[in-house]
Structure 1
Amino acid sequence: MNLPRVAVICDLPEENWHSMDLVAEMLLKHLRAEHAESVSAEGIRPHLKRRLGFWPRPSAVAHNADRLFNRFWDYPRLLRRERERFDLFHLVDHSYAQLVRELPAERTIVTCHDLDTFRCVLEPEREPRGRWFVAMTERILDGLRRAARVTCDSVATRDELLKFELVPASRAVVIPNGVHPSCSPEPEAAADAEAVRLLGDESDAVVDLLHVGSTIPRKRLDVLLRVFAEVQKEFKGARLLRVGGAFTDEQSKLAERLGLSQAILVLPQLSRPVLAAVYRRAALVLQPSEREGFGLPVVEALACGAPVVASDLDVLREVGGEAAVYCPVADISAWSEALSALLHERRDEPERWEARRRAGLTQA
């Protein structure tokens, strides 16, 4: 008996969108582990073909040009050859939705994590872009509109999808992200040892605040740095841990102006088990974003037993429930007061702190 064949369409690995890679990895893993008797799942993940990137002095412009060639020429050509080999196609990243145009749309699913990709088309006054960029985005959005189903990470994302009438309600469903099995409060010897190597031994004199995520503007790392500067005034041993790439030049300059450079540790790319160990080490995990599609670090942190302070967004309340603490976006004073209160609770009220951790585990 031939099983239905499912193609999971992944991002180009060289793009280094680790959250999208994780979604694809987890989807394939669960399809193969839990549905092997009903479907045959295969990942499609071609490598980036470098053209301009082979120039003697490659630049960001050359790399981005290569990305465009691959997304809009090479990947579509590859999928045209795969159209008849699979019965169902699932694109794990809405920013690749232009690929739906090369596939049988009636047999194609797209996961939409947020609408930021389409902001220049949907709300051009908020994100003005050049004509060529808008035209490219319209092509991606056209692919999303064609899909037979659009799965959303959160109710908030689905609500926004329907608000802009991008797809009919009957074709949009909510399927929340799960957490990686490594996200656990239980110790894991090898991963914990690597965390010690990276962070040093645990000490009551050091208070680690953790941020996990990229450095794109909507993550509001400027807020993160300003809040951390306020916390450091009271908690001299506070340290900011960053996972998700080096600061931009502008963010680095802000950290230097605030006198924070020596109190910040930017970590390299971590394996999933080591990331979980770093979550376990953190006193608090901070999510100061002004927009999110799901906020995966919130649920990952809670699953590891780390309390969370997040921006007061519908989507983050959806993920963190009553277990997280919420502050208005970019309100430095409110964030600073919340962090101070929580760090005092951690130091002075161990029973209440443990109850907070348990509530997070239950929510996750």
Structure 2
Amino acid sequence: MRVAIVRRAPSASFSMDVYADGLVSGLKTIRPDWEIVELIPSSTPTNEGNTILNGLKKYYQRYWQYPIKVKSRKADIFHIIDHSDGHIAYWLKKANQLTVVTCHDLINLLQPENISDQAKLPLISAAIWKYAVQGIRQANHIVTVSAYTAKDVTQLLNVQPGQITVAPNAVEPLFQPFPPEQLVKFRQRYRISPNTICLLNVGSNHPRKNVFTVLHTLQALRLKELPVHLLKTGADFTVEQKTFLQTHNLESCVTYLGKPSRATLVEIYNVADILMAPSFYEGFGMTVLEAMACGTPVITSNVTSLPEVAGDAAIMVEPTDVNAIVEAVHHLQNDVDYRTSLRQKGLERVRAFTWETTAEQVAQVYESLMPDQALQRSSKHHAATNASRSQIGLQSTVDHLR
């Protein structure tokens, strides 16, 4: 079978890069006789200073040029890995191509301000995004990363449940616990003493991430005169959040670490004592898995998809209940047995979330869409093709669509 993975532009979305890389790796492992072709749009040249013109060029490239190029490619199945590129499904349907789309979340339908706060052309961006995401209804099948997102797709886009398959995200093997002696060096590097409670928040600053509750928790812990420090990665604090830190004299116990590499992020997870992830909404919640894979206890919300991911391996609270979060921090720090038990539960839970498992579920979706005879012919043809390619070391191809 020849599968075309329709990716986002390089660095357009870090989380989509992680998803696409993991899915491709898993597919190549569990279906080595298949040919996996990765389609990637070329970057759009920008004119310095002309933000409106640059925005229009990006719209043209993403919503016209790239779909035309994707449509011109040959494959048995096209898999659009981001629902924000759902508009491509309109084009592929017209070409009678079998199409699968992964939907990660529909937060922008529920909270349109997420688009408005980031876009240079907010009204245009919101309208186009809505048009694009509604395109996933044109796909032959939809993959969602959680049952909660599947429910949203059913209710908000009026998609029948039988057209949806839940295939959770996974965690890379890179995320793992480090030996204690390494952790001492890491803490010294980040100037965090051994007796300091190190909290960690990872991700964007969208309102749904509920970063202010993390800051209120930090303030409450400081008022109790506990040694505590907060590390933040991903998006920097907003102006309002920085004002809060200044007003409550919390700047000395907060460090913003920017957008680290994956390897550095693993190090940061290991340095932290607790991941703070009290989101109001998550389509999945990758940071919860990543922290547990590193042996870091997690405090997260009891809403949306987060209970699916966390299971019984994290502390779940109401997202705005600062007192409950403070109490959870106390419990983790004062009860060694409890902390060890939660850490072990997390390490055991993440074993079920592998890219090979996810890829197997997705591969079965592909196969269910292919007529039996066509699937057999495709398998024989591509087995022969790959046998020939293996002689020159080719297992997959990557097309930059220009």
- TM band (smaller chain): 0.7 to 0.9
Q: What does the per-residue CA deviation read over 1:147-205, in whole Å, with 9 as the maximum and x for residues that have no partner?
A: 1111111111112222235321111010011111111124499x9799557524x6323
Shift of 1:326: 1.1
**Residue of 27, 40, 51 corresponding to 2:35:** 40
> Could you say which residue in structure 1 is the equivalent of 2:313?
323
> Could you say which residue in structure 2 is the equivalent of 1:9?
6
Shift of 1:63: 5.6
> Could you say which residue in structure 2 is the equivalent of 1:362?
348
> Could you say which residue in structure 2 is the equivalent of 1:126?
none
> Could you say which residue in structure 1 is the equivalent of 2:68?
77
* Equivalent AA in structure 2 for residue 19 of structure 1: S
Correspondence 1:340 to 2:335: no
The aligned runs of 1:1-364 (5 Å cut-off) are 4-15=1-12, 17-37=13-33, 39-50=34-45, 53-55=46-48, 57=49, 59=51, 64-82=55-73, 85-104=74-93, 107-119=98-110, 132-187=124-179, 195=186, 199-200=190-191, 203-345=193-335, 350-364=336-350
Superposition RMSD on alpha carbons, in Å? 2.6
The answer to whether the Cα contact below 8 Å between 1:153 and 1:293 also exists between their aligned partners in 2 is: yes
Mapped partners of 1:194, 1:33: distance in 2:
36
The answer to whether the Cα contact below 8 Å between 1:89 and 1:108 also exists between their aligned partners in 2 is: yes
Give the direction of change, closer, same or farther, for the CA distance of 1:250–1:77 in structure 2 (3 Å limit): farther
The answer to whether the Cα contact below 8 Å between 1:118 and 1:141 also exists between their aligned partners in 2 is: no
Shift of 1:236: 4.0
Q: Residue 199 of structure 2 aligns to a residue in which SS?
A: strand
Give the direction of change, closer, same or farther, for the CA distance of 1:338–1:87 in structure 2 (3 Å limit): same
Segment of structure 1 superposing worse, 255-264 or 112-121: 112-121
Mapped partners of 2:219, 2:254: distance in 1:
11
Mapped partners of 1:197, 1:13: distance in 2:
34
> Could you say which residue in structure 1 is the equivalent of 2:371?
none
Q: What does the per-residue CA deviation read over 1:43-81, in whole Å, with 9 as the maximum and x for residues that have no partner?
A: 22223303xx422x355x666545433321332232233
Q: Residue 86 of structure 2 aligns to a residue in which SS?
A: helix
Shift of 1:136: 1.6
Q: TM-score, normalised by structure 1?
A: 0.85
> Could you say which residue in structure 1 is the equivalent of 2:384?
none
The answer to whether the Cα contact below 8 Å between 1:91 and 1:110 also exists between their aligned partners in 2 is: yes
The answer to whether the Cα contact below 8 Å between 1:187 and 1:277 also exists between their aligned partners in 2 is: no
Q: Residue 270 of structure 1 aligns to a residue in which SS?
A: coil
Q: Residue 279 of structure 1 aligns to a residue in which SS?
A: helix
Q: What does the per-residue CA deviation read over 1:195-249, in whole Å, with 9 as the maximum and x for residues that have no partner?
A: 557524x632322101111111111111221111112223543111111122222
Shift of 1:89: 1.1
* Equivalent AA in structure 2 for residue 324 of structure 1: A
Q: Residue 200 of structure 2 aligns to a residue in which SS?
A: strand
Q: Residue 243 of structure 1 aligns to a residue in which SS?
A: strand
Larger radius of gyration: 2
Q: Percent identity?
A: 28
Mapped partners of 1:31, 1:308: distance in 2:
30
Unpaired stretches in structure 2, ≥5 consecutive residues: 113-120, 351-402
Q: What does the per-residue CA deviation read over 1:292-348, in whole Å, with 9 as the maximum and x for residues that have no partner?
A: 000011111111111100011141111101111111122222222222332233xxx
* Equivalent AA in structure 2 for residue 107 of structure 1: L
Give the direction of change, closer, same or farther, for the CA distance of 1:134–1:246 in structure 2 (3 Å limit): closer
The answer to whether the Cα contact below 8 Å between 2:283 and 2:304 also exists between their aligned partners in 1 is: no
Segment of structure 1 superposing worse, 209-218 or 242-251: 242-251
Task: Count residues with an aligned counterpart.
Answer: 340
